[in-house]
Chain A
Amino acid sequence: GAVVSQHPSWVICKSGTSVKIECRSLDFQATTMFWYRQFPKQSLMLMATSNEGSKATYEQGVEKDKFLINHASLTLSTLTVTSAHPEDSSFYICSVVGGGYNEQFFGPGTRLTVL
């Protein structure tokens, strides 16, 4: 399967600042990536679908101006949490779509803590 990296693996920031999380597909070109958030002991919630060269598609209830997604190349998608607040603290996971059956391969996740 595909190898996916995320950077940083964890980040602590002050309330009101913006944080950028990178998702990289290391061994193949991904036209589609997904961004999820996960609260402690809960399932993954799909936030948005990131398509290379076009605007991201956000799930209902996800603020697109709050969570900016850029998919500028076939190997990199970024999620920027703007004006972060403590309620944005979560585990953010990306995935890339590939393989013969359009499978998803997941990154290791980024732990965001907003103080």
Chain B
Amino acid sequence: AQKITQTQPGMFVQEKEAVTLDCTYDTSDQSYGLFWYKQPSSGEMIFLIYQGSYDEQNATEGRYSLNFQKARKSTNLVISASQLGDSAMYFCAMRETHSTGNQFYFGTGTSLTVIP
């Protein structure tokens, strides 16, 4: 079974609008971390935001916020006030604290295009 599922291969958003990128995960661990990365065409993976499984508040980092629904095992990324520079691939990732050591599991990504 896939550990991380991103069901939106591609998304379009108008500049200055908000967009939600979906991510669901699968784990039997009680303790885990959820991450979002941005990958521009240059290839570098840029860390955006983190949510711990025990965190009660949804994480926020500037224009990025997470809609974390633990019971549904989903952690959707919300980008507010989209900018042209937000056009990139976005990857959701998970690290299980106990089961699988230190590796991250990544989804297949969502390609976001911001339209002027």
Tell me whether A and B are bound partners.
Answer: no
